[in-house]
Amino acid sequence: MFETRLREINDRLEGSRLAAVVGRDGLVVQSAGELTGADTEALAAELTSQLGSLASGQRELGGGDVEELSVTTGRHIVLVGSLSDDYYMMLVLDRGGAQGRARFELRRARLRLGPDLA
C-alpha cells in the first residue's frame, strides 16, 4: 500500500537504511530498505512501546502529545514519528545520516500518509 512512498523516502535520505510504517502495536505494516545486523520487528516493537510510555507520561504531566522519538546508538540513528492515532513511521539511518532531513521527512510523511491511515 505504501511501498512506493516508503522507497522514495528511503532513497531520498542520505545514509538511510530503512523506512517503515509501524502500527501502534509495534508490528511493521510495510517497509522499504534493509536493516542488516538487527531485527526490524523487534526494534519497531521496542521503540513503539517506549513511545507509548512516554506519551502516557506526557499526557499525565500536561505536556501534550509526543510526536517524535529519536534514539542514537553506536551504529544507527532511529527516528519514530506519529503518522496518525494508530500508526508511526520509523526511519533508521547510519550514524552519519542526515538526521535533520529525516525529521523533515517524518513531518512530510505525516501530511502525505496520515490521511490515508486515518
* pLDDT tens per residue, range 95-106: 989 999 999 999
Question: What does the pLDDT read at residue 13?
Answer: 93
Q: What would the mean pLDDT of 30-46 be, rounded to a whole number?
A: 88
Q: How far apart are CA 72 and CA 20, in angstroms?
A: 17
The amino acid present at 35, given as its one-letter code, is L
∠ CA 32-21-19, rounded to 5°: 35
Q: How far apart are CA 95 and CA 74, in angstroms?
A: 7
Residue 39's pLDDT band, with cuts at 50, 70 and 90, is confident
The highest-level CATH class for domain 3-117 is alpha beta
**Domain residue extents for the chain:** 3-117
Residue 113's pLDDT band, with cuts at 50, 70 and 90, is confident
Q: How far apart are CA 62 and CA 7, in angstroms?
A: 37
pLDDT of residue 60 exceeding 70, the answer is no
DSSP string, 57-111: HHHHHT-----EEEEE-SSEEEEEEESSSSEEEEEEEETTS-HHHHHHHHHHHHH
Q: What would the mean pLDDT of 52-59 be, rounded to a whole number?
A: 75
Q: What would the mean pLDDT of 48-65 be, rounded to a whole number?
A: 76
At residue 73, what are phi and psi to the nearest 5 degrees? -115, -175
pLDDT of residue 85 exceeding 90, the answer is no
- pTM exceeds cut of 0.75: yes
pLDDT of residue 107 exceeding 70, the answer is yes
pLDDT of residue 48 exceeding 80, the answer is yes
